[in-house]
Structure formats: C-alpha cells, structure tokens
Amino acid sequence: MDNTFYHENNLSGLKREDFKKTIDGKETDLFILTNEKGAEIAVTNYGGAILTMMMPDKNGKFESVIQGHDTIDNVINSPETFLSTLIGRYGNRIAKGKFKLDGVEYNLTINNGPNSLHGGPTGYHARVWDAEQTSANSLALHYLSKDGEEGFPGNLDITVTYTLSNDNEFIITYTAVTDKKTLVNLTHHAFFSLSGVKNPTPSVENNILTINADFYTPIDEVSIPTGEISKVEGTPMDFRTPQTVGSRINDNFQQLINGAGYDHCYVLNKEEQGVLTFAAKCVDPDSGRSLEVYTTEPGVQLYTANWQSGFKGYHGATFPARSAICFEAQRFPDTPNKAHFPSAVLAPGETYHQVTIYKFGIEK
C-alpha cells in the first residue's frame, strides 16, 4: 500500500493513526487528496469511505460538505452503514433478494425489509480495498469480489479511481471484469451537506435542485420499483426546473409517503446510453456552494437522508434526518427482475465502465 502523500497539517484535522487497523489480514489507512485550489478530500480504504470533502463557500471558508467519520472504528460501526461509501455488487434494492441468470436462480442476503440492499450487509462498503495513491490528487482502489460473495456469481475484479481535479471536481471512474456472467451495478453513496457539516448539520430542504429527467421509477411500499416508468410532469417528483428540496417533500403524494421523502431513481434524459451527460445540480443558498452531477449511467437515485437519526460524525457534527442529499448514479433498482429496465448483466470478455463526476462551485 502506497501512502506517501499523507500530510499531518491537512485541512480536515484527521490523523493517520486513527485509521490504522488490520481487518482479515488487510490494513486500513487514511489518504488525503489535494488540488491546486486548496480543496481536499480525505478517504479511507475501508469501503472507499469519504471522510471529509473540504470545499470553499462564497466567502472562501473551507468546510466539509460530506457526512463522514473521524476514526476507522466509527466508520466500521456507523449507525448509517453506507455513509459516503462505495456500493456493490448491486447498488439499490433487489426484490426478495432473488434473481435469475440463464435460468439459474440466485439468492442474496436480505438486509432491508424483504429485500437485498446495496450488495448486502458485507457488500463493498464493508470491505478493505487495496489502495495506491498515485499522485497528490488521485487514489486507485482495487477489490476482488469472490464468486458467491453475498450470493452473487462470478469473481469480479474491480478498480475504482478517485480523482480531485483542479476544477474542484470529484471524479469517480469504475471498471470491472468477471469470469462468470453476473450482475454489476456500482455506485457511491456520498451524503452531501453543501452547507457544511455542523452540530446539528442543517436540513437540505432549502437546497435548490434541478434534475435532468422527464421520468422516474415509482416504488411500492417496500421501495421496490413497480415496473412503471412514469412522467415527473405534474407531480412533486418534477425537478426539471429549479425547485427547493423541501417545497413539496411533505406533500400527500403516495410516492413520497412510500419513500418517507425522496428515495427514487430518476431516468436521466440521454440521447445515447453510456455517454457522460449532465444529471443534476444542487445549490445551497446560504453558503453559495453548488454541486453539479455528471454520469455515464442511465439513472440517478435521489435520496434525502430521510432515515438519518442525528448520530455523531466528523469532529462532533451530528446528522439529523434530511441533513444530506445523495445522487447515486446507477442502473435502475431491481433491474434483474424487470426485463424492460436497462440491463445490469456483465459477461466474461466484457468490461463494466462508469464515470461519475461531482463538480463543486460557488454561486454568489
């Protein structure tokens, strides 16, 4: 493991010794990414978890705009299992933890009501990734997911690269290959708090949101897509023009009731699948910080941290319900059981590839 770019005077105030642990013979560590503008991202290779993301506000003040923890033990034992971590082998839900490939039924671990969520309880969020920091602004993470892990077929060889560009872009590049036909739906569950994390971290309901999607996938009472692809037009799901997150979140609308707020996959407007395009924009009017999302994926899950409990995180910050917003770039939920959804199947000889960019800016 190469970690020659760590420096003690990092903006986050995190200490490397607080992230050193041996788990199943593999070492965890702290990695610091920096760029020429003074921005900084702190990462641990346990679950690829982002710990802090130091970005300036309209007055030039740097604060962490992501929810995370300040020790490895707190990451491992977080009340929010997926807090700002990598997700796989399958992001989002698979109904009843079952799917068929070539006539063979596979059974996954159930960890969310009657369903499998985010790859199961020992998914990629709970694995120690091999890490190599190749430059001050880039970190390569590698993991070999074994055949049968959490019920998924095939040995999946995955590389994820985190890059902090000089334009304050957090760029995630994913590649994966398999030796047996399998499902692959990788994502990152970053919990963004553009106001800066605090005690308590403010609600995101004042954030101004735009999503480049005419359609979304409605869900049932256990958050599984019904199979419909519905228009956002005329509903509280419509963010084609800028709206505050909170303006309709408590409406008496069945989809918002089912999700306890926004927890839905948006079908991104794309002329060609697999091309990097604009997905969403979010602005925090108080700090002036903005976030633009670009992805090669066909969908993005909007989640407004409806189930956060107010637990403590980084440097005493607390994370109440709706104090973060997530943009999880992905294939649609329960795709293997919905033949008309974009496929998440990967076969030997093929390469899974995804690029997702989170670009930070200032609007004064």
4 pLDDT more than 90 = no
**Tens digit of each residue's pLDDT (9 = 90 or more) over 5-28:** 878 889 999 999 999 999 999 999
193 pLDDT more than 60 = yes
User: 52 with 75: CB under 8 angstroms?
Assistant: no
The set of catalytic residues is 189, 328
Mean pLDDT for 168-173 is: 98
**Tens digit of each residue's pLDDT (9 = 90 or more) over 122-169:** 999 999 999 999 899 999 999 999 999 999 999 999 999 999 999 999
- Residue 202 pLDDT level (bands cut at 50, 70, 90): very high
Distance, in Å, from the CA atom of 41 to the CA atom of 39, rounded to the nearest integer, reads: 7
**Tens digit of each residue's pLDDT (9 = 90 or more) over 55-77:** 999 999 999 999 999 999 999 99
Report yes or no on whether pTM surpasses 0.75: yes
- Dihedral angle at the C-alpha atoms of 200, 204, 205, 208, nearest 10 degrees? 150
Distance, in Å, from the CA atom of 55 to the CA atom of 305, rounded to the nearest integer, reads: 21
Q: What does the pLDDT read at residue 305? A: 98
Mean pLDDT for 87-94 is: 98
The share of the chain scoring above pLDDT 70, in percent, equals: 99
User: What is the DSSP code string of 237-285?
Assistant: T--SS-EEGGGSTTSS-HHHHHHTS-EEEEEE--SSTTS-EEEEEEE-T
Distance, in Å, from the CA atom of 285 to the CA atom of 316, rounded to the nearest integer, reads: 24
2 pLDDT more than 80 = no
Q: What does the pLDDT read at residue 6? A: 79
Q: What does the pLDDT read at residue 8? A: 82
User: What is the DSSP code string of 164-233?
Assistant: E-TTSEEEEEEEEEESS-EE-B-EE---B-TT---TTPPPSTT-EEEE-EEEEE-B-TTS-B-S--EE-T
Token digits for 235?
Answer: 């509903």
Q: What does the pLDDT read at residue 364? A: 77
Delineate the domains of the chain, giving CATH numbers in brackets: 1-203+302-364 (2.70.98.10)
- Residue 230 pLDDT level (bands cut at 50, 70, 90): very high
335 pLDDT more than 70 = yes
Q: What does the pLDDT read at residue 5? A: 80
